[in-house]
Amino acid sequence: MVYAIYKTEAFAKIFESLEVAERDWITKIVGQLKENPHAGKPLGFPWFREKKFGGKRLYYLIYNELGKILIVAFGNKKEQKLIIQSVLRNLDAYNELAEKL
């Protein structure tokens, strides 16, 4: 199954401000995730994962039943705890968004 990849508005803004190498890497990872959404490291749940790029991480949610992946954040190791907490706090909003996309 090929998954559809979506980005939150907040992530899209972050993406535009990234260095070229980071944007290129994320674009490559998006292609990989379409075929293998479970490629990253799980973050306490099988549907919440990250992929590492140097000292930074790409965070995404997997919706197997919908065949969708929602990219939610990109940040460094120092921000990891805050990002994970924020994603879990806003999970209902992300779930609603994924269903609408």
pLDDT digits (tens, 9 = 90+) for 15-66: 999 999 999 999 999 999 998 999 899 999 999 999 999 889 999 999 999 9
At 64-84, the pLDDT tens digits run: 999 999 999 999 989 999 999
- Cβ-in-10-Å burial (0-12, 13-18, 19+) of 65 comes to exposed
pLDDT of residue 1: 79
DSSP bridge pairs for 75: 57
The rounded distance, in Å, linking the Cα atoms of 101 and 94 is 11
Domains of the chain: 4-100 (3.30.2310.20)
